[in-house]
Amino acid sequence: MLDERELATRPIVQESVQHNARTVSNIRALTASLFGVAAGTLGLESFPGFIFYAVGTAVVSVLIFAFKAESNPKAYFWRPLQDLWAGDMFGGLMSFVLTWTLLYNLAKA
């Protein structure tokens, strides 16, 4: 009940939430594809490739945190841990695998 009142006095606007989530998701999708290009060109295989993706997304998270959220994620995300740090991590994975496979085969052929 107290939480509900808190939300009523400091409302969360749905459009802004969606806009922020979409921004994060766009950044993630683009960078994931680029990481795939990099991993494929480097010729990474199996685990190193996925670790490369994890490290890359972590770096991107830090960049979003530092530049997009201006080190103050509470102002932009309701649940910063879920929406910023882990948001859409697996949405980008498929496009990472796609470009990784493509570039890996182009580079090795």
In the DSSP assignment, the letter for residue 1 is -
Pick from 29, 37, 38, 89: which binds other proteins (CB under 8 A)?
29
CA quadruple 45, 94, 85, 65: dihedral sign = positive
In the DSSP assignment, the letter for residue 89 is T
Contact between residue 100 and residue 40 where contact means Cβ atoms under 8 Å apart: yes
CB of 83 to other proteins, least distance (A): 16
Which one of the spans 60-68, 75-83, 95-103 is the region binding other proteins (CB under 8 A)? 95-103
84 binds other proteins (CB under 8 A): no
| One-letter amino acid for residue 68 of the chain | K
Contact residues toward other proteins (CB under 8 A) are 5, 8-9, 22, 26, 29-30, 32-33, 39-40, 44-47, 49-50, 91-92, 94-102, 104-106, 108-109
